[in-house]
Structure formats: C-alpha cells, structure tokens
Amino acid sequence: MDHVATKPGATTATASDTPKTAAAGEVNRQPQETDGFQLVIDALKLNGIDTIFTLPGIPITDLTRRSQAEGIRVLAFRHEQNAGYAASIAGFLTQKPGICLTVSAPGFLNGLNALAHATVNCFPMILISGSSEREIVDLQQGDYEEMDQLAIAKPVAKAAYRVLHADDIGVGIARAIRAAVSGRPGGVYLDLPAKLFAQSIDVEAGKRTLIKAVDPAPKQIPAPDAVKRALDLLKAAKRPLIILGKGAAYAQADADIKLLVEKSGIPYLPMSMAKGLLPDTHEQCASAARSFVLPGADVVMLIGARLNWLLSHGKGKTWGAKTAKDWGGQKFIQVDISPQEADSNVRIDAPVVGDIGSCVSALLAGMNATEGGSWAKPPADWLSAVTEKKQGNVAKMAETLSKNPTPMNFHSALNVVRDIIKANPDAILVNEGANALDFTRSIVDMYKPRKRIDVGTWGIMGVGMGYCVAAAVTTKQQVIAVEGDSAFGFSGMEVETICRYNLPVCVVILNNNGVYKGTDVDPTGRDPAPTVFVKGARYEKLMEAFGGVGVVAATPSELRGAMEEAIRSKKPTLINAVIDENAGTESGRITSLNPAAKKKP
C-alpha cells in the first residue's frame, strides 16, 4: 500500500474536510482521504475509549483538539505525570485501558513514571506519546526532542509498540488494548512518530484497517483439579484466613466474592485498595486483628493479592516465624490470573490460576457440591479468638478517637473523615502520605468496592490530584482526598485542573509542616531540615487562586463543617487541616524499612 507522507506545507484531508462541491456538470473524482490523526481517533472510539488524559504540544496538539471535537472527553493536565496517574487509576476503576497522551521526550519521560506505576500495580493503561523522526533519532542527529522512546519504555511496560504507517494504526491500537487488559493488566506504551499523524490514505482503505478488539480480556477458567486442591486444603484448615487484594477489587466480581467469604465463614483481611469489597464493618472482617490473624492462620487464601513487601513476603515475624527469613508454616492458596505469581516468595500449595470472577465462581460451585452444600464453618475457637482480639482493638481505637486534643492530631481529624465517609459511602477516597496514609487506612471504614484508591504497590507519592480528576470524571461521584502535606505537593498544581473542570473534589491536607512531621532541625543551624516545610503554609489559597473554595480548619468541628459544605456544594474545595507538627512517626508504619530511624531509641 502507498503511504503518502505529507511534505511540510502540504495540506492533509481531515475528518471535517468535505469533498469540494463539484461545478455543475462536473464529476467530482477527488478521492476522499483520511489521515493518521483521524485513524487514531477512529480506532480509539471503535474500541470504546471515551476519555484521554493529556498535556498538549508538538506533535499531538491537533490530536487532542480533534479528539475533543469528535466527542472524546479530553482532560488536559499541568504535568504529564498526573495525567498518567489519572489514566492508570481510570484503568483500575473501569477495566478499560486509561489513555495518557503526551508529547515526545520530556513529556514522554514525565508520563513514564505513571506507566511503570500502572505495570507494577496491574492497572490497564496505555501511554501514547508522539515521537521524533525515526531516521534522525536512529542516527542521533539531534532532532527536536530526540529520544528512542520505545527502547526506554520497554523495561517498565507490559508491552511496547511503535506504528510507522497510517494503515497500521488499527493494529497498533488493538494490540495495545489487548496487552493492557488481558491476563494480568499492565501499562502499555504506544509510540506514534510525528510523521504518522500527517500521513494520508483513502478513507475507505483506512476504515478497513481498523480493528475492534473482540473479547480483549477473555475469561480464564481455572482447572477443576486446581479448584479441588484449594478446597481440600481450605476444608482441612483449623485457622483459615482469606486475604483480598486489589486484584479482587479490579475484577468486579463483588457479589460472588461476598458470597464466597460469607459461605466459608472465614475471617478475611482486605488489602488497602480492597477495603470495602465487603463493608469494613462486616463481622468477618479481621482488619482490627491483623497482627493476630497473620501469625495465627494455618491456611491462607490469597485472592488477587501478591505476597510482596506489603505482606512481609509471606514469612518472618509477621507470620509467626522466629526470624525475618523463616517461614511461618502457613499453607497458601493463591487465586491469581498470573501463572508465574505462585512461589514468588514462599511455597504456594494450591495455586488457582484464572480470572478472579471465574475462580471464585468455581470455588463457590465446589463448596456447594461439598457435603450437600453445607460447607462447614471454621472451628469456633479460631473465630472467637479473632473476634475477641478484634473487639479489644476496636475498643482501644474508639477510646483514642473520642479524644479531642489541641492542637488537632491525625486521630481527631480522621475521626471526622470516618463519619463523613460513613454518611457518604459512594464517595471515592483518595489517600496518600505516610502517617496520613496509614492512619486513614486503619481509621476510615469503607463500605463499597473500589472506593479507596491510594499509593499502591510502590507506596508512591504524587498520585493524589491525578487520581482525584480521574475518579471524579469516571465515576461522577464525590471525591475526598486525604493528603499528607508532603504528598499533596507532588501534584498540587492540578488543583487548577480540578477547578477548570469544576469537579466535586474535596482535598483535605493533614498539615503537620513537613515530610512525616515538622519538627526536625538542621544540626548546623544553617537551613531548614530536609523534612521540614514552611511553617503554617496556607495551602487553601492555592485552591482559591483558581476559583475554588479554600478553608483553614484547626479543630474537628471546623473540619466537619467544611467537609459537609464541600459535599453539599460539590465545589472544588481544599481544606488545610492544621494538625500538631509533632504528630506522626518517621515513615509512618514502615519505620522498619528505614535504617536510620530504626537506630533511633
């Protein structure tokens, strides 16, 4: 096929171009042409992509304009990293790949962090970046924003592709979508050189090249013997435990997961982003007895959760072993779509490989077939021990939450957030920081699936405002972000984006004047300590600068009033919740990973 690369200055047909009106009696023989820009838009729309997260510039500015003109929601950010995080979480929330569109080299690199984040967290996302001329890039002749982007993206992407010819755009987009959502989801890079956009081809020929991906995330049915092996292990358990991870939340198999947990009668622990899959107030929820159930359990069923650092690699003292290297003796069942995940850290006795929806329904069917459907609940002594531990810890927490210290601290502020989420269970909670993260996770109960989105597998700072935009746009729900003051700074400029699109986002900054806390000093007396910020910073003014509502809240009642008003008005709101600068610990709950802090008494 002929590829007509447009020469500088040559005009290219666009979708809006109509054939020139033929003069009377004259036959219009001019073939209708389409171009690379249009084919990208057509291919995305054909595959149900309705939103693009972007920051325009050469060579993608027209792609953003024309996508918007064609009805795609185009959300433009102030920094590509935030657009990328937005795309990644849109993928998690919708099961469709979130699209982040950037310019070449620097824009691409700004988006790359989010691409890696998507891959690490198993979120489907496609980073589409414009790139410079291949011939010049490959000879390293110094093109505008020259960079071999494909090579750089590969190590952090689940897959990476480049399209050189307009008639391959359909294949390129279909491959990118399949790679992002099939199997274990992840981040995909799609390289679109500038020249591609201007290539023109015949409209009809162009149409024939487009592909609508059929069943891009096919079901993966687990093997019956794997299901039986898992159920046999579970049935014999004396102290079973279920751990739900964000893969379970992603899978949108909510009703069956609830059925499985309830029919089994087994205590369960939700990982951070799996909170709310069943309400955190559920009687089987063992979150408040975490440090009891992990070492105590004899059989653990992981559903969409990896035994990575967040679960202490399935071994060591957390799991009741004598040393950090030792195995606690638990047997593991792991339900996961990735056949390579099992045995990554400790032995998995019963891997169940398949998509969570299919696996959970197969497990349920197996339980129903067992003993005439009367699946025996776990031994009563285990259940009562878990309940006792849990009740003790819940009572202790209630006592702490009932205090009203001056100045406000994490607990008294988060007690308010806890009530607000209880009253607004459909709201999406975005959460980042160290203490701001750990305390929110343990204090604020979630009631519905996929309502809590946070720093994820890397414990990354900077997802906050990008997540807020994506959550508000894709779910149309109220968004509440609980942010450490350091965490907020990574994406703070996107409050302009929140105001520009007038999104119902209420940002609460738990402001303790620094990273972790605001009390460090430079021993030489020269500079502020590296962890310390300007004291008494007025973050709320940033929101006011763009027309949103800014509030300072120094007490729980001020915080409550401001949050209630934000939810009532749906206006972009930033609440600067001033808390004790002594509040918090270094690194929050992961002090053990911090060698310097560990040495401190």
Residue 416, phi then psi, degrees to nearest 5 = -70, -45
Whether 100 contacts 114, CB under 8 Å = yes
Q: In terms of C-beta density within 10 A (0-12 exposed, 13-18 middle, 19 or more buried), how is residue 526 classed?
A: exposed
Site string for ligand TPW, 420-449 (x = CB under 6 A): -------------xxxx-------------
Q: What is the DSSP letter of 4?
A: B
Interactions with ligand TPW, residue window 526-585 (CB under 6 A): 584
Given a contact cutoff of 8 angstroms between Cβ atoms, the answer to whether 59 and 35 are in contact is no
SS3 531: coil
Phi, psi torsion values for 118, nearest 5 degrees: -60, -45
Q: Quick one: 40 or 87, whose CB is closer to ligand ADP?
A: 87
* 55 forms part of the interface with ligand TPW (CB under 6 A): no
Interaction between residue 457 and ligand ADP (CB under 6 A): yes
Rounded Cα gap, residues 58 and 37, in angstroms? 13
Q: Vertex 551, ends 545 and 556: CA angle to 5°?
A: 160
H or E stretch at 300: strand 299-303
Query: Whole-angstrom Cα distance, residue 347 to residue 587?
Result: 30
Of 342, 254, 350, residue with least CA distance to 300: 350
By CB under 6 A, residue 358 contacts ligand TPW: no
- The option from ligand TPW, ligand ADP, none interacting with 573 (CB < 5 to 8 A, set by class) reads none
Q: Assess 279 for contact with ligand TPW (CB under 6 A).
A: no
- b/e map of 370-408 (b: 16 or more CB within 10 Å)? beeeebeebeeebbebbeebbeebeeeeeeebeeeeeeb
What number of helices (H) and strands (E) belong to the chain?
A: 23, 19
251 binds, among ligand ADP, ligand TPW, none (CB under 5 to 8 A by kind): ligand ADP
Identify what 175 binds: ligand ADP, ligand TPW, none; CB under 5 to 8 Å per kind: none
- Kind of pairing, strands 240-244 and 73-76? unpaired
Binding residue for ligand TPW, selected from 124, 185, 464, 588, defined by CB under 6 A: 588
Q: Which one of 170, 206, 247, 504 is in contact with ligand ADP (CB under 6 A)?
A: 247
65/347 with CB nearer ligand ADP: 347
Partner from ligand ADP, ligand TPW, none contacting 247, C-beta within 5 to 8 A by type: ligand ADP
515 binds ligand ADP (CB under 6 A): no
Among 256, 280, 336, 485, binds ligand ADP (CB under 6 A): 336
Q: Does 172 bind ligand TPW (CB under 6 A)?
A: no
Among 84, 172, 267, 304, which residue interacts with ligand ADP (rule: CB under 6 A)? Answer: 304
Instruction: Report the partner that residue 274 touches, choosing among ligand TPW, ligand ADP, none (CB closer than 5 to 8 A by kind).
Output: ligand ADP
- What b/e string do you get for 287-312 counting C-beta neighbours within 10 Å, with b at 16 or more? bbbeebbbbbbbbbbbbbbbbeeebb
Q: How far is the CB of 584 from ligand TPW (least distance, A)?
A: 5
- Contacted entry of ligand ADP, ligand TPW, none for residue 584, CB cut-off 5 to 8 Å set by kind: ligand TPW
Residue 297, token pair as written in the block:
């359990």
Give the nearer residue to ligand TPW in terms of CB position, either 194 or 421: 421
Closer residue to ligand TPW, CB minimum distance, 236 or 521? 521
Query: What part of residues 453-482 is at the interface with ligand TPW (CB under 6 A)?
Result: 459-462
Q: Is residue 251 close enough to count as binding ligand ADP by CB under 6 A?
A: yes
Written as six digits, the tokens of 376 are 């025996």
Q: Under the rule (CB under 6 A), what is the footprint of ligand TPW?
A: 433-436, 459-462, 484-487, 510, 512, 515-517, 584, 588
List residues near ligand ADP by CB under 6 A.
Answer: 121-122, 184-185, 245-247, 250-251, 271, 273-274, 304-306, 308, 310, 336-338, 341, 355-356, 457
